[in-house]
């Protein structure tokens, strides 16, 4: 506590009293700031301005007395928790003490002030102050935390609603796009095996959208066996390693008919990279498949006709009449040979083509070559599309002979072309109106075409991009990125999928792109398709939701308070944070999973303060969920090891926009330490903090209660521990505190259970003994005097064997109602008279005990003290000191290091260089030595010599920085003797030097470290006879 920073306000109209108070406090508590006020009004102003940790208040002051100051401080909510200690006369009246307590004071100090009592009171008051401030700060912090969490939850709720609205609009847009493009979407949850279909997908399979999709195990019925096997393998790969797939599969509709479907799927991962679901799209391609099939069959027929059977052949004369035909021609038209030979070919054509043939035949003869197509009916009247290739045959003179013509029935081809054209128109419509941006590129990354959505995504018209490379269209590095992706895509059949954050025309967007290579009928790569979907809104929503969830989770998980959330209406726990689990000291599996209102009390062991269990619906969280109450309560949570934790809980319902209770939330704090602190404060109010016996406040209150006929006569015994100040100064306050604790324990052993023992001052105790006679009090004092002397000396735990004793006095009431003041005065007078006669015999014994203890720590210190004493005395004699002065120098030389009793022997005997901390501790020994000797009247004369023996002649010594003649002459002598002995004798940290070298060092440092006159006397008169002195030392 001595290192804690405190702020104390001292109030007294006497400036000298303030000076003494400030000095005593600063010495005991160096880090403490002491504020001084000379009157009541000034004290109130300074208390409001500086908020001190306690107030030391005089009672009698001009203008406003201490009682009024105390009442005003306690009535001010900002200042009411500042402890107040009245500083007044010990013998004050009972009425004045009652008035002081009623005004709000916590304690008293008697004038003249006892330093130990002042120190003890300050410690006690600061403990009270710290506990009060901690309680106030915790309340404020909790209020701020609740407000902060409430605002965060409101903000999170608003963001969630906004995201929900955006999600609904996106879903609506997606549904419309699917209808237009005849594309359906699906998702398979791998954990639940649940399948979700879009409405368009139900239509493709011929199923009712109002019914749930068939389970995964039934999906095999939707495909032909071979296609289902292909799809199953693709799904297995997606489950295992996330491989995406794109397939064309033959389906089985609900009516038993077959169709074709394009299916694409890819894996979806969670934040840990684990595959959680598979999702994808599907498109009904039955029509395009039918066209492809018909085209293929037509091509096969054409190839069969061309490769394996003769083509239709005819030759014409110069008038266009048939000369020659082949069987294929006949088969094509369905006529017999005799029905057609010699007839004009135009007769076999449809009427609209006959006249055109007449005109084109003349052109044919002039040019020598012809290619034409026309329609002709066969014998059955069915119109045919025919392809006509012709060449003129000339004789050797170059004159016309006949034509050679090849005919080919291209009716089916024309039908396929018409069907293909229709398909292309449909595809073009889908391409242009797709909700996905689609672009076609050459293998070198040159733009062929963009649909409307692609142009909408990047801005501009097709003319702005057609024929340009991606390296020209897009800025770096996006251009290079797309070029490299195109090169990658043309090397694999697997579509390449990417998500990119791109900026077009200063607008930033997210896109999901699928790059697929395009091949011709021969399997040669002729380009790539890039399908890009604008996923900006989805990304923004995902990021916002993720950030909101992360913030909320971080806030909950790092909260000092426990937080639990339960669903309505059964109160099943959904979440409990770490702080909440710690209160019960259980895992989530034990006290969260499958826990609802019916098991709150049993699983969490929730008890009233009297130990009885709560009812299920009494628990705050249950009240919030069941009844919508916002409530607060304190209760006990009992751990399995039977440790009780006190809890403060605040619960509230969570409602939806319709005002319905959807969940409940409770914030609960472990207030166990707070309750313990409150109990400790209550204990400290009536107990001494060091010994745990009662304090003076309780002592005086109890005397008032006992002072009556029932307990007459009351006896008062006072006891004072002798030698406490010497222990504190020589060994330290810790040892002194231990002696006081043992002193109290010894007294308690000798008195009755109903007797009241209290510590009324630093080392002074008092006992109230009801119904006690004069003879009994005298015998008890004698027993205490002898018994406690023995027990204290037998039980000392510190090293120094200083004899400790106690002095007691007593007084006994001579009439009912005799006051405490009169009895205390009589007992203390008795005690101090006995103490006076006992103290004189102890002085020399105490000093001898301290020196012996020091010598036990270090034999070197004993030899050093003897040598310094003899050398110093020799210097004094050489300087013609009288006999008495020489004796004082000799005594000071012997006792100059007595203050080292309080220094650890490991430091005294350390062989290495001392640390800064150890050196600073060593430098305190001159002051310690002076303080010990100052307690003995016989040594008062040598105190200045001992205190100043490490001062330097140039003022750079310690502890006071004295110089020249400011340093007592005797101290300057001891300084030379001490230095010479230190240099010439073995030290743990260095080897000795010769006497001559030491003398040279003394002369070198004369005028800086040492008095030059004394160095001359030593070197000229003492050093020559040092051998004689050595014999004396031995």
Report pLDDT digits (tens) over 974-992.
999 999 988 988 776 678 8
DSSP 643: -
The pLDDT of 327-347, averaged and rounded, is 89
pLDDT of res. 307: 41
Sheet holding 258-269, edge to edge: 194-197, 183-189, 275-284, 258-269, 245-252
Report pLDDT digits (tens) over 79-98.
888 999 988 764 556 677 77
Least confident segment among 299-303, 448-452, 809-813, 905-909: 299-303
Sign of CA dihedral 761, 763, 764, 770: positive
Write down the H helix ranges in 447-587: 452-458, 470-473, 478-489, 536-557, 578-584
Going from N- to C-terminal start, the domains of the chain cover: 7-144, 182-284, 292-416, 434-541, 561-674, 682-840, 858-1033
The pLDDT of 833-860, averaged and rounded, is 56
The CATH T-level fold of domain 858-1033 is Hypothetical protein af1432 (1.10.3210)
Place of tokens 């430098």: 923
In this predicted model, which residue has the larger pLDDT, 680 or 490?
490
Least confident segment among 298-307, 603-612, 1022-1031: 298-307
Concatenate the DSSP letters of all residues of 897-952 into one string. Answer: TGGGGGS-HHHHT--SPPPHHHHHHHTTHHHHHHHHHTTSGGGGGGHHHHHTTT--
Both tokens of 348, joined, read 């076999």
Identity of the highest mean pLDDT range in 165-174, 231-240, 355-364, 624-633: 624-633
Report pLDDT digits (tens) over 353-372.
888 888 888 888 888 888 88
Contact, 384 vs 332, CB < 8 A? yes
Q: pTM of the entire structure?
A: 0.32
Indicate the average pLDDT of the chain: 84
In this predicted model, which residue has the larger pLDDT, 309 or 571?
571
Both tokens of 744, joined, read 């109290």
Write down the H helix ranges in 842-881: 843-857, 859-878
| CA–CA separation, 668 and 634 (whole Å) | 9
pLDDT of res. 371: 87
In this predicted model, which residue has the larger pLDDT, 423 or 409?
409
pLDDT of res. 655: 92
Q: How far is CA 779 from the centre of its chain?
A: 65
Pick the CATH number of 182-284 from 3.30.450.20, 3.30.70.2740, 3.30.1150.10, 3.90.226.10: 3.30.450.20
> 682-840 domain in CATH 3.30.70.270?
yes
Q: According to CATH, what is the number of the domain 434-541?
A: 3.30.450.20
Report pLDDT digits (tens) over 617-664.
999 999 999 999 999 999 999 998 998 999 999 999 999 988 999 999
Q: Does the pLDDT value for residue 341 go beyond 60?
A: yes
Concatenate the DSSP letters of all residues of 971-988 into one string. Answer: HHHHHHHHHHHHHHS-BT
Please enumerate in sequence order all residues whose Cβ is within 8 A of that of 355, keeping only pairs 6 or more positions apart, or say none.
346
Q: Does the pLDDT value for residue 728 go beyond 80?
A: no
Relative to beta strand 183-189, strand 275-284 is: antiparallel
Which has the closest alpha carbon to 760: 713, 808, 720, 791?
Answer: 720
How many H-runs (helices) and E-runs (strands) does the chain carry?
36, 31
Contact, 243 vs 237, CB < 8 A? yes
| CA–CA separation, 721 and 644 (whole Å) | 42
| CA–CA separation, 517 and 691 (whole Å) | 90
Tell me how far CA of residue 899 lies from CA of 143, 209, 674, 808, 962, in angstroms.
54, 98, 43, 31, 20
Both tokens of 536, joined, read 């900006």
The pLDDT of 715-727, averaged and rounded, is 83
Half-sphere exposure of 997 (CA within 13 A, CB side): 8
| CA–CA separation, 598 and 563 (whole Å) | 19
Angle between helices 411-433 and 115-181 (to 10 degrees): 150
Both tokens of 894, joined, read 């012997």
Three-state DSSP at 548 gives: helix
> 292-416 domain in CATH 3.30.450.20?
yes
Q: Does the pLDDT value for residue 427 go beyond 80?
A: no
In this predicted model, which residue has the larger pLDDT, 903 or 652?
652
Please, which contacts does 238-246 make with residues 24 or more away whose CB atoms are closer than 8 Å?
Answer: 238/265, 238/266, 238/267, 238/275, 238/278, 239/190, 239/267, 239/275, 239/278, 242/266, 242/267, 242/269, 242/275, 243/267, 244/494, 244/495, 244/497, 246/495, 246/516
pLDDT of res. 298: 67
Q: Does the pLDDT value for residue 714 go beyond 70?
A: yes
How big is the chain, counted in residues? 1034
Query: In CATH, what class is 561-674?
Result: alpha beta
pLDDT of res. 243: 92
Report pLDDT digits (tens) over 559-599.
888 899 999 999 899 889 888 888 888 888 888 888 898 98
| CA–CA separation, 327 and 387 (whole Å) | 17
Place of tokens 């012996």: 852
Which has the closest alpha carbon to 669: 702, 704, 634, 695?
Answer: 634
Q: Return the bridge partners of 943, or none.
A: none
Q: Return the bridge partners of 447, or none.
A: 441
| CA–CA separation, 25 and 85 (whole Å) | 14
Report pLDDT digits (tens) over 468-481.
888 888 888 888 88
Half-sphere exposure of 850 (CA within 13 A, CB side): 30
| CA–CA separation, 565 and 664 (whole Å) | 6
Both tokens of 568, joined, read 């309505």
Q: Does the pLDDT value for residue 1005 go beyond 50?
A: yes
- Residue 527 Rama label (left phi>0; alpha psi -120 to 50; beta): left
- Residue 846 Rama label (left phi>0; alpha psi -120 to 50; beta): alpha
Which has the closest alpha carbon to 903: 850, 960, 974?
Answer: 850
pLDDT of res. 648: 93
Write down the H helix ranges in 368-477: 411-433, 452-458, 470-473
Least confident segment among 274-283, 451-460, 592-601, 899-908: 899-908
Three-state DSSP at 717 gives: strand
The pLDDT of 403-430, averaged and rounded, is 82
Please enumerate in sequence order all residues whose Cβ is within 8 A of that of 751, keeping only pairs 6 or more positions apart, or say none.
757, 767, 769, 780
pLDDT of res. 841: 45
pLDDT of res. 309: 47
Q: Does the pLDDT value for residue 836 go beyond 70?
A: no
| CA–CA separation, 956 and 948 (whole Å) | 12
| Burial call 613-636: b when 16+ CB within 10 Å, e when fewer | ebebebbbbbbbbbebeebebebb
Place of tokens 């107040």: 84
Angle between helices 843-857 and 925-933 (to 10 degrees): 150
Report pLDDT digits (tens) over 844-853.
555 555 666 5
The pLDDT of 594-621, averaged and rounded, is 90
| CA–CA separation, 499 and 19 (whole Å) | 78
Q: Does the pLDDT value for residue 430 go beyond 80?
A: no
The CATH T-level fold of domain 7-144 is Rossmann fold (3.40.50)
Both tokens of 769, joined, read 């003994």
- Say what percent of the chain tops pLDDT 90: 24
Q: Does the pLDDT value for residue 769 go beyond 80?
A: yes
Identity of the highest mean pLDDT range in 300-304, 337-341, 752-756: 752-756
Report pLDDT digits (tens) over 145-154.
777 877 777 7
Please enumerate in sequence order all residues whose Cβ is within 8 A of that of 1005, keeping only pairs 6 or more positions apart, or say none.
none
Task: Give 301's pLDDT tier (boundaries 50, 70, 90).
Answer: low
Least confident segment among 709-713, 862-866, 871-875, 974-978: 862-866
pLDDT of res. 778: 87
| CA–CA separation, 923 and 978 (whole Å) | 15
Report pLDDT digits (tens) over 18-69.
888 888 888 888 888 999 999 999 999 999 999 899 999 988 888 898 889 8
| CA–CA separation, 177 and 772 (whole Å) | 104
Q: Does the pLDDT value for residue 512 go beyond 60?
A: yes
Q: Does the pLDDT value for residue 447 go beyond 80?
A: yes
- Please tell me if the domain spanning 7-144 has the same topology as the one spanning 858-1033: no
- Residue 273 Rama label (left phi>0; alpha psi -120 to 50; beta): left
Both tokens of 617, joined, read 């619906």
Least confident segment among 305-319, 443-457, 957-971, 988-1002: 305-319
């Amino acid at each position: 506590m001595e290192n804690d920073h405190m702020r104390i306000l001292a109030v007294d109209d006497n400036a000298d009293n303030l000076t003494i108070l400030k000095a005593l406090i600063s010495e005991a508590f160096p880090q403490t700031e002491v504020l001084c006020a000379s009157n009541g009004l000034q004290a109130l102003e300074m208390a409001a301005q500086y908020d001190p940790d306690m107030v030391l208040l005089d009672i009698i002051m001009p203008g406003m007395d201490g009682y009024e100051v105390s009442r005003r401080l306690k009535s001010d909510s900002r200042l009411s928790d500042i402890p107040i200690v009245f500083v007044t006369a010990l013998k004050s009246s009972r009425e004045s003490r009652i008035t002081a307590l009623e005004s709000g004071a916590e304690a008293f100090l008697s004038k003249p002030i006892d330093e130990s009592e002042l120190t003890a009171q300050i410690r006690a008051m600061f403990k009270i102050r710290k506990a009060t401030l901690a309680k106030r700060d915790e309340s404020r912090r909790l209020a701020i935390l609740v407000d902060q969490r409430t605002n965060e939850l409101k903000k999170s709720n608003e963001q969630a609603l906004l995201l929900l609205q955006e999600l609904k609009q996106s879903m609506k847009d997606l549904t419309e796009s699917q209808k237009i493009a005849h594309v359906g979407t699906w998702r398979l949850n791998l954990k639940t095996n649940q399948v979700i279909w879009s409405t368009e997908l139900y239509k493709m399979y011929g199923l009712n959208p109002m019914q749930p999709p068939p389970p995964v195990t039934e999906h095999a019925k939707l495909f032909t066996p071979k296609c289902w096997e292909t799809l199953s393998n693709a799904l297995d790969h997606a489950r295992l390693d996330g491989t995406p797939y794109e397939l064309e599969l033959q389906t089985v509709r609900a009516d038993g008919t077959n169709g074709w479907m394009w299916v694409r799927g890819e894996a979806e991962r969670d934040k840990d990279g684990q595959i959680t679901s598979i999702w994808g799209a599907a498109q009904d391609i039955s029509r395009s498949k039918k066209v492809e099939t018909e085209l293929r069959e037509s091509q096969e027929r054409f190839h069969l006709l061309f490769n394996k059977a003769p083509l239709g052949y005819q030759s014409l004369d110069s008038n266009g009449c048939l000369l020659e035909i082949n069987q294929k021609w006949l088969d094509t038209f369905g006529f017999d040979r005799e029905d057609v030979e010699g007839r004009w070919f135009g007769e076999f054509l449809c009427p609209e083509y006959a006249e055109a043939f007449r005109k084109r035949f003349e052109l044919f003869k002039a040019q020598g070559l012809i290619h034409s197509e026309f329609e002709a009916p066969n014998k059955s009247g069915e119109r045919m599309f025919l392809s006509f290739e012709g060449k003129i045959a000339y004789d050797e003179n170059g004159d016309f002979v006949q034509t050679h013509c090849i005919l080919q029935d291209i009716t089916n081809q024309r039908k396929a072309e018409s069907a293909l054209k229709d398909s292309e128109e449909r595809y073009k419509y889908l391409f242009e109106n797709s909700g996905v941006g689609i672009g076609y590129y050459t293998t070198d990354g040159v733009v062929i075409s963009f649909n409307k959505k692609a142009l909408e995504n990047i801005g501009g018209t097709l003319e702005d991009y057609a024929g340009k490379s991606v390296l020209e269209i897009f800025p770096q590095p996006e251009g290079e990125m797309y070029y490299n992706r195109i090169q990658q895509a043309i090397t694999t059949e697997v579509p390449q999928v990417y998500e990119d954050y791109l900026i077009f025309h200063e607008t930033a967007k997210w896109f999901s792109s699928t790059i697929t290579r395009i091949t011709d009928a021969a399997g040669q790569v002729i380009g790539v398709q890039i399908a890009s979907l604008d996923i900006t809104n989805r990304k923004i929503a995902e990021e916002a939701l993720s950030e909101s969830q992360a913030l909320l989770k971080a806030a909950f998980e790092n909260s000092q308070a426990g937080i639990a959330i339960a669903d309505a209406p059964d109160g099943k726990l959904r979440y409990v944070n770490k702080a909440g689990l710690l209160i019960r000291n259980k895992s989530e599996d034990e006290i969260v999973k499958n826990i609802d209102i019916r098991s709150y009390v049993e699983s969490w062991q929730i008890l009233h303060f009297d130990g009885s269990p709560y009812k299920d619906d009494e628990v705050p969280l249950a009240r919030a969920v069941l009844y919508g109450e916002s409530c607060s309560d304190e209760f006990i949570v009992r751990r399995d090891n039977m440790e009780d934790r006190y809890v403060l809980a605040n619960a509230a319902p969570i409602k939806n926009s319709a005002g319905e209770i959807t969940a409940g939330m409770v914030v609960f704090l472990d207030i166990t330490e707070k309750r313990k602190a409150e109990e400790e404060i209550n204990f400290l109010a009536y107990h001494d903090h060091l010994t745990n016996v009662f304090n003076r406040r309780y002592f005086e209150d109890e005397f008032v209660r006992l002072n009556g006929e029932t307990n007459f006569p009351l006896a008062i015994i006072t006891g004072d521990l002798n030698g406490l100040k010497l222990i504190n100064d020589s060994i330290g306050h810790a040892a002194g505190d231990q002696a006081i604790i043992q002193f109290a324990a010894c007294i308690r052993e000798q008195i009755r259970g109903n007797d009241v023992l209290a510590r009324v001052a630093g080392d002074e105790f008092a006992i109230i003994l009801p119904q006690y006679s004069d003879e009994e009090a005298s015998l008890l004092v004698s027993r205490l005097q002898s018994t406690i002397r023995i027990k204290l000396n037998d039980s000392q735990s510190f090293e120094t064997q200083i004899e400790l004793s106690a002095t007691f006095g007593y007084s006994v009431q001579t009439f009912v109602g005799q006051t405490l003041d009169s009895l205390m005065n009589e007992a203390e007078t008795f005690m101090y008279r006995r103490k006076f006669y006992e103290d004189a015999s102890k002085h020399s014994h105490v000093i001898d005990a301290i020196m012996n203890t020091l010598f036990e720590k270090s034999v070197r210190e004993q030899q050093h003290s003897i040598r310094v004493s003899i050398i110093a005395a020799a210097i004094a004699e050489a300087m013609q000191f009288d006999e008495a002065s020489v004796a004082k120098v000799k005594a000071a030389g012997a006792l100059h290091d007595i203050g080292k009793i309080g220094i650890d022997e490991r430091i005294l005997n350390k062989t290495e260089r001392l640390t800064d901390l150890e050196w600073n501790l060593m430098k305190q020994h001159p002051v310690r030595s002076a303080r010990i000797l100052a307690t003995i009247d016989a040594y008062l004369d040598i105190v200045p010599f001992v205190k100043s023996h490490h001062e330097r002649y140039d003022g750079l010594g310690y502890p006071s920085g004295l110089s020249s003649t400011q340093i007592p002459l005797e101290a300057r002598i001891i300084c030379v003797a001490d230095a010479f002995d230190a240099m010439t004798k073995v030290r743990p940290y260095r080897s000795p030097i010769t006497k001559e070298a030491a003398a040279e060092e003394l002369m070198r440092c004369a005028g800086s470290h040492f008095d030059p006159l004394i160095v001359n006397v030593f070197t000229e008169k003492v050093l020559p006879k040092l051998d004689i002195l050595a014999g004396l030392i031995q």
